[in-house]
Amino acid sequence: MTQLTSHLEIIKSLAEQIKRPIRVMEVCGTHTMTAFRSGLRSLLPENVSLLSGPGCPVCVTPTGFIDRAIALAQEPGITIATFGDLVRVPGTESSLERERARGARINIVYSALDAFRDAEQNPDRQVVFLGVGFETTAPTVAWTVKKALTGRLGNFSILPAHKTIPQAMAALMQGGEVKIDGFLCPGHVSAIIGSRPYEFLCRDYGIPCVVAGFEAGDMILAIEMILRQRIEKRATVEIQYTRGVGETGNPEAQAILREVFEECDSEWRGLGTIPRSGLRLRDTFRAHDAFLRWPALPLPTPVEPPGCRCGDVLRGARLPTECPLFRTRCTPETPVGACMVSSEGACAAYYRYAHSGSEKEE
């Protein structure tokens, strides 16, 4: 604790030298929750604030994808397998949770391999795994798809919506809507991809990047590193989370990703379509692509809930507390927007912690 206090004092001194407001964006939902649980925001100097970004995979999954998953769930003979948070995200006209209550086969799983095993045990049903997530979970999905192809498991497929973080960070910088002075890069993602994929952000946008671990102490040290870069007028990628991340990442995970997936443009809630920010199955594995197996599903025109500001929150353009639905119509028990559904969502974090007296408003 004494050491952390010392680093907080250093941050205070650095902030006084900078003088102007400094906004550091954490791109990972786990960082968001750590900052709130620890009260870190309230410990920072007045001119240093943390801003939550698009680091929650459930939150950035667009309504159109949810609508397609719902349409698949309504088809006879199909079982949907998904991570738990996605079930409660509202689509245009329904949600997976509602369809499940109406009798659709929707299973909560912990991995794509769980869905694979379900397909093995139920050869009379098509099992579709909802492939939502970042580079952290995508390698395990890639491995499972390869296993399905090798084993000729014809009743297993995925609905791919995997996204890659660095391109979304670039989109935020290109948009220019929000002033960002530094990025806390996500530790879990970086354990897979390494630190090098962020270098173009420093080169092209002059933005300091620090890969941070998930304890409050990790984040404090990372913020200090960003402030030092600002004072020294440099922009580089540094690794605070050296116990879990190296420059080159995990080569085995990267290899299976390259073998099974290829880059594609992808739609992000609140950010629109970002070039080369998604992963789709390569031609060799397209037999397991649910988009191609069921291309002509009846789908509504995607519509966001009236008044919902999740898109603004994900861009860092608006605080959750500035949404007119926050704490009124939109709560964890009755979520209107995706950012209130996920445990890593900024709105859920604000709902739980922001009015506890331990947080300062950004």
Sign, Cα dihedral of 23, 15, 17, 6:
negative
The half-sphere exposure of 196 on its side-chain side, counting CA atoms within 13 A, is 8
Axis crossing angle, helix 251-260 with helix 138-150, rounded to the nearest 10: 60
Distance CA 182, CA 122 (A): 49
Residue 355 pLDDT level (bands cut at 50, 70, 90): low
Q: Is the pLDDT of residue 360 over 60?
A: no
**Among candidate residues 175, 351, 168, 181, the one with its CA nearest the CA of residue 269:** 168
DSSP alpha helices (H): ranges in the chain? 2-18, 29-38, 40-43, 57-60, 63-74, 96-101, 112-121, 138-150, 165-175, 187-193, 199-205, 216-231, 251-260, 290-293, 310-315, 338-341, 346-349
Q: Is the pLDDT of residue 98 over 50?
A: yes
Give the rounded percent of residues in the chain with a pLDDT score beyond 70.
98
Residue 1 pLDDT level (bands cut at 50, 70, 90): low
pLDDT in tens, 204-258: 999 999 999 999 999 999 999 999 999 999 999 999 999 999 999 999 999 999 9
Backbone angles phi, psi at 345, to 5 degrees: -75, 145
Give the pLDDT confidence score for residue 343 in this predicted structure: 83
Query: What one-letter code names the amino acid at 277?
Result: S
- For 331, the token pair is 């709560």
Query: 24, exposed or middle or buried, with CB in 10 Å at 0-12, 13-18, 19+?
Result: buried
Residue 3 pLDDT level (bands cut at 50, 70, 90): confident
Q: Is the pLDDT of residue 356 over 70?
A: no
Residue 5 pLDDT level (bands cut at 50, 70, 90): confident
Query: What one-letter code names the amino acid at 68?
Result: R
pLDDT in tens, 49-72: 999 999 999 999 999 999 999 999
Q: Is the pLDDT of residue 354 over 90?
A: no
Give the rounded percent of residues in the chain with a pLDDT score beyond 90.
93
Q: Is the pLDDT of residue 2 over 80?
A: no
Q: Is the pLDDT of residue 353 over 90?
A: no
Sign, Cα dihedral of 217, 219, 223, 228:
positive
Q: Is the pLDDT of residue 357 over 50?
A: no
Domain 1-9+56-308 = CATH 3.40.50.11740? yes
pLDDT in tens, 329-349: 999 999 999 999 988 899 999
Give the pLDDT confidence score for residue 54 in this predicted structure: 94
Q: Is the pLDDT of residue 137 over 90?
A: yes
pLDDT in tens, 138-190: 999 999 999 999 999 999 999 999 999 999 999 999 998 999 999 999 999 99
- For 258, the token pair is 């390259």
Give the pLDDT confidence score for residue 324 in this predicted structure: 96
